[in-house]
């Protein structure tokens, strides 16, 4: 039996949560489970995250007033429920195009605070217009991310927004808008605070496997969804607003299901930009490329015929970075493996048990002053609040989101063109490739404005 230091109880609970499936982990965030040694604790690791600056703080006059836009599965169960646990912020409004979703979230918020004060909106513009809201939390389908964030920034709101961007051009527009307005933007992406991926990147950046040579990333295979006949829009759904900047189309019964719209190009980039945002970020960070990204990519993907799907369901991409390091991104289980001249590190399965050529690699301790990676923050929600209070950059800035999303978008464009492409991270353009550069942006529908 292993003796456990009582002072590590919180850390052990976190490790239990971080080795669960995403859905189970979401529930665990709210139940504060206290469980013993699991996952990477077998390697004898100790906690190393930056302490919260405001845990336990927050007088009513000091609370950050939040408005949550998009309270479907992730928006409600993860983002809304997580922010409710912090007493230096207060959710004051919710917005969703589904009447049932916004009513559910209002009920939860009011029950949490013991009142009936939470406002409800079907139109995000009305929420953003409220002068008493300091920050907005955007948890919508991908095609809305940039537009909503831009509107919020122009209104002087701080922004917490889910990943990814929909196109390269939109990502640059967003990053530039943050700089131009002097606004605050944080991405709702947890990976740099997940100890498994932080330890992998820490080991590689600090030379524990020698010189990095190759990275292999596995992303799960999505689902094929047969085409359906159009039906009437269900009562309680503003479908025109759900489509928003995407092209107008008929409603079909499963279209607004996240598993479905993620496989349709007008709304998302599929598994590559969904799961890829998690694991490709770790790959870029391990390779010191989080501010640039790869410079070339080639590969193939398969879109299932006769389906709603319009992005590849299975694929294999081969990336090259400016320093010569290569990265394979392929359909598999969620996984990452970094191979160097003196060993390798990685894991298989989302937040899976850490593996390595030698597990002693993970026991190495690096002094903060000399370590080549930043401290690990508690989670993306706490980081958002602490960054605002501490007047510092968040864990994932708009620029970081753009660079990460671009790494995935250039792969998607190579698959669409069915040939290799070369990318210049400095000019953010494809080299000598007019056809590829055309695919950096999309047409935007404006009919929803009226």
pLDDT digits (tens, 9 = 90+) for 18-33: 434 444 444 333 332 2
Please say whether the dihedral angle defined by the alpha carbons of residues 426, 428, 431 and 432, taken in this order, is positive or negative.
negative
Contacts of 238 (CB under 8 A, 6+ apart): 97, 122, 123
User: Do 87 and 201 belong together in one domain?
Assistant: no
User: Do 150 and 168 belong together in one domain?
Assistant: yes
pLDDT value at 8 more than 70: no
User: Do 98 and 160 belong together in one domain?
Assistant: yes
What does the mean pLDDT of the chain come to? 89
User: Do 210 and 180 belong together in one domain?
Assistant: no
User: Do 254 and 139 belong together in one domain?
Assistant: no
Residue 307: DSSP 8-state: B
State the alpha helices, DSSP H only, in 334-423: 380-390, 398-417
Domain assignment of residue 265, yes or no:
yes
Note the pLDDT of residue 36. 27
How far is Cα 157 from Cα 149, in angstroms, rounded to an integer?
A: 9
User: What per-residue string of b and e applies to 60-91 under the rule 16 or more CB within 10 Å gives b?
Assistant: eeebbbbbbbbbbebbbbbbbbbbbebebbbb
Contacts of 389 (CB under 8 A, 6+ apart): 53, 54, 88
Tokens 């929420």 -> residue: 127
- Looking at per-residue pLDDT, the higher value among 141 and 24 belongs to 141
Structure tokens at 209: 């496997």
pLDDT digits (tens, 9 = 90+) for 318-348: 999 999 999 999 999 999 999 999 999 999 9
Domain interval for residue 386: 192-449
pLDDT value at 367 more than 60: yes
Phi and psi at residue 39, to the nearest 5°: 55, -130
User: What per-residue string of b and e applies to 385-424 under the rule 16 or more CB within 10 Å gives b?
Assistant: bbbbbeeeebbbbbbbbbbbbbbbbbbbbbbbeeeebbbe
Domain assignment of residue 297, yes or no:
yes
- Write down which residue in 139, 155, 190 finishes a domain: 190
The closest alpha carbon to 165, from 137, 188, 199, belongs to 188
Note the pLDDT of residue 450. 86
How far is Cα 25 from Cα 106, in angstroms, rounded to an integer?
A: 23
Would you place residue 62 in the very low, low, confident or very high pLDDT band (cuts 50, 70, 90)? confident
Domain assignment of residue 313, yes or no:
yes
Domain assignment of residue 355, yes or no:
yes
Domain assignment of residue 151, yes or no:
yes
Beta bridge partners of 237: 98
Phi and psi at residue 140, to the nearest 5°: -100, 175
User: Do 210 and 118 belong together in one domain?
Assistant: no
pLDDT value at 126 more than 70: yes
Note the pLDDT of residue 26. 41
Would you place residue 317 in the very low, low, confident or very high pLDDT band (cuts 50, 70, 90)? very high
Q: Counting Cβ atoms within 10 Å, is residue 288 exposed (0-12), middle (13-18) or buried (19+)?
A: middle
pLDDT value at 16 more than 90: no
How far is Cα 389 from Cα 367, in angstroms, rounded to an integer?
A: 26
Phi and psi at residue 364, to the nearest 5°: -65, 140
Q: Are 190 and 102 in contact (CB under 8 A)?
A: no
The closest alpha carbon to 69, from 120, 143, 124, belongs to 124
Domain assignment of residue 1, yes or no:
no
The closest alpha carbon to 309, from 299, 301, 300, 318, belongs to 301
User: Do 181 and 205 belong together in one domain?
Assistant: no
User: Do 85 and 138 belong together in one domain?
Assistant: yes
How far is Cα 283 from Cα 317, in angstroms, rounded to an integer?
A: 14
The total domain count for the chain is 3
Domain of 113, CATH number, reads: 3.40.50.720
Angle between helices 398-417 and 276-286 in degrees, nearest 10: 110
Domain assignment of residue 94, yes or no:
yes
Q: Are 40 and 195 in contact (CB under 8 A)?
A: yes
- Write down which residue in 171, 190, 209 finishes a domain: 190
pLDDT digits (tens, 9 = 90+) for 175-203: 999 999 999 999 999 999 999 999 999 99
How far is Cα 70 from Cα 122, in angstroms, rounded to an integer?
A: 10
State the alpha helices, DSSP H only, in 337-395: 380-390
> What is each CA distance from 134 to 90, 97, 127, 158, 300, in whole angstroms?
10, 22, 11, 6, 44
pLDDT value at 210 more than 80: yes
164 prior amide bond cis, ω within 30: yes
State the alpha helices, DSSP H only, in 19-80: 22-31, 73-74
Q: Are 352 and 335 in contact (CB under 8 A)?
A: yes
User: Do 250 and 211 belong together in one domain?
Assistant: yes
> What is each CA distance from 230 to 141, 246, 264, 289, in whole angstroms?
21, 17, 16, 45
User: Do 231 and 367 belong together in one domain?
Assistant: yes
pLDDT digits (tens, 9 = 90+) for 39-56: 333 333 433 334 434 433
């Amino acid at each position: 039996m292993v003796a456990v230091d009582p002072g590590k109880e919180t850390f052990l609970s976190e490790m239990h949560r971080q080795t669960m499936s995403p859905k189970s982990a979401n529930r665990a965030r709210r139940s504060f489970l206290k469980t013993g040694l699991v996952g990477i604790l077998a390697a004898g690791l100790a906690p190393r995250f930056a302490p919260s600056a405001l845990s336990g703080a927050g007088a009513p006059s000091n609370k950050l007033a939040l408005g949550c836009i998009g309270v479907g599965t992730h928006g409600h169960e993860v983002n809304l429920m997580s922010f409710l646990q912090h007493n230096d912020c207060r959710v004051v409004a919710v917005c969703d195009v589904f009447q049932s979703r916004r009513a559910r979230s209002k009920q939860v918020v009011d029950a949490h605070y013991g009142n009936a004060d939470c406002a409800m909106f079907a139109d995000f513009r009305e929420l953003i217009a409220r002068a008493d809201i300091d920050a907005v939390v955007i948890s919508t389908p991908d095609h809305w991310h940039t537009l909503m964030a831009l509107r919020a920034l122009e209104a002087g709101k701080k922004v917490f927004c889910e990943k990814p961007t929909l196109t390269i051009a939109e990502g640059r527009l967003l990053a530039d808008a943050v700089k131009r307005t002097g606004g605050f933007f944080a991405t709702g992406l947890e990976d740099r605070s997940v100890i498994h991926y932080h330890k992998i990147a820490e080991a590689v950046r600090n030379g524990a496997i020698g010189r990095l040579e190759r990275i292999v990333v596995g992303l799960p295979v999505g689902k094929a969804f047969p085409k359906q006949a159009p039906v009437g829009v269900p009562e309680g759904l503003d479908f025109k607003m759900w489509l928003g900047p995407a092209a107008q189309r008929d409603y079909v019964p499963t279209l607004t299901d996240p598993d479905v719209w993620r496989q349709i190009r007008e709304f998302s980039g599929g598994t590559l930009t969904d799961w890829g945002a998690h694991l490709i970020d770790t790959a870029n960070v391990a390779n010191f490329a989080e501010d640039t990204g790869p410079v070339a990519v080639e590969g193939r993907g398969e879109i299932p015929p006769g389906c709603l799907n319009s992005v590849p369901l299975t694929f294999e991409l081969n990336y090259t970075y400016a320093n010569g390091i290569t990265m394979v991104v392929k359909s598999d289980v969620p996984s990452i493996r970094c191979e160097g001249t003196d060993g390798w590190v990685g894991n298989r399965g989302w937040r899976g048990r850490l593996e390595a050529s030698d597990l002693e690699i993970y026991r190495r301790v690096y002094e903060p002053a000399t370590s080549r990676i930043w401290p690990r923050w508690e989670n993306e929600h706490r980081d958002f609040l602490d960054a605002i209070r501490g007047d510092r950059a968040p864990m994932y800035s708009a620029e970081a989101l753009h660079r990460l999303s671009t790494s995935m978008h250039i792969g998607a464009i190579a698959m669409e063109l069915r040939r290799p492409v070369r990318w210049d991270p400095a000019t953010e353009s494809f080299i000598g490739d007019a056809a590829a550069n055309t695919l950096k942006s999309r047409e935007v529908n404006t009919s929803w404005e009226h």
